Structure 1
């Protein structure tokens, strides 16, 4: 719970009463490598906070091709946020790439706290704003930057991730093939 408290305090400090109510909603959940947190087609009901491990968010085409959208590393929130807020089925998969430990809470229970605890609602709004900014930045990277620029941003955003996940996941995230990623790495190493 300590990492969750630190994360939230950086966004906007919660009162003692708000933290008590909020933190009591969370329980520990573990995922083993390969296990899904949420799948496409499910209704999202809970939000999670990643304490340890690595997850990926990905889409899968009708012919089975996977497109990595995002990686989650500690300490951040995960879950089918669009599904939670729209009350529609989830369209993206979230899968553990390593064993993971999460704190999870029912999202509806969090929403019930908003009228009495405006600082919790404020945290929720700030998180939504962060999600929007991250999504917009990612779209800019994919559309306006070349693969080497995207790779350098990946290295900055996820500094030690390359040592923990397969190259094909990184290539998928960058929108290139593993062979192209290998060429980019060799080109950068020669500089």
Structure 2
């Protein structure tokens, strides 16, 4: 819970009374590599705090092709946010790319705390703002930047991932084929 406290307090400090209310709603969970935190067509009920590990968020086309949308690297919050807010079925899969340690909580238990703990509600608002900015930046990258520039941004945003996940996941995230990614890498190394 120490990582959760540090992360949340970096967004907005929470009072001791708030922490006493927040701690009991979270429980520890292990997600093994390949397991899902949430799948498409499920209605989300849980939020998670990723303490250790890597999770990818992705869409799957009707033809069965995966399109990586986002990588979650600890520490951060995970979950089917749109589904949590609307109650509609989730559209994005979240799958562990490594073994993960997660703290999970029922989203309604979390939101029930808002009334008595405005500091917790502020944390939720700041998280929503972060998610919005990340989504907008990602959309701009995909539309306006070429593959080489998107790759540079990927390396800055996720410096540790390149050696930890398969190349095809990175290529999917960049919106290119693994062969195109290999060409970009070769061009950069001068080979």
1:6 aligns with 2:9: no
Secondary structure at the residue paired with 1:90? coil
Q: Give the superposition deviation at 1:186.
A: 1.1
Give the unaligned 5+ runs of structure 1. Answer: none
1:149 aligns with 2:149: yes
1:75 aligns with 2:51: no
In the alignment, what sits opposite 1:98? 98
Q: Give the superposition deviation at 1:81.
A: 0.4
In the alignment, what sits opposite 1:30? 30
TM-score with structure 2 setting the length: 0.98
User: How far apart are the structure 2 equivalents of 1:151 and 1:29?
Assistant: 33
In the alignment, what sits opposite 1:133? 133
Number of residue pairs matched by the alignment: 191
Q: Give the superposition deviation at 1:190.
A: 2.2
Query: What stretches of structure 1 move > 6 A for 4+ residues in a row?
Result: none
In the alignment, what sits opposite 1:112? 112
Secondary structure at the residue paired with 1:67? strand
Q: Give the superposition deviation at 1:24.
A: 1.5
Q: How does 1:17-56 map to 2 (within 5 A)?
A: 17-56=17-56
Secondary structure at the residue paired with 1:119? helix
User: How far apart are the structure 1 equivalents of 2:179 and 2:151?
Assistant: 14
User: How far apart are the structure 2 equivalents of 1:76 and 1:148?
Assistant: 27
CA RMSD of aligned residues (A): 0.9
User: How far apart are the structure 1 equivalents of 2:94 and 2:180?
Assistant: 25
Q: Give the superposition deviation at 1:111.
A: 0.7
Q: How does 1:167-182 map to 2 (within 5 A)?
A: 167-182=167-182
Secondary structure at the residue paired with 1:24? helix
User: How far apart are the structure 1 equivalents of 2:14 and 2:112?
Assistant: 16
Secondary structure at the residue paired with 2:25? coil
Q: Give the superposition deviation at 1:20.
A: 1.5
Secondary structure at the residue paired with 1:13? coil
User: How far apart are the structure 2 equivalents of 1:71 and 1:185?
Assistant: 20
User: How far apart are the structure 2 equivalents of 1:62 and 1:131?
Assistant: 26
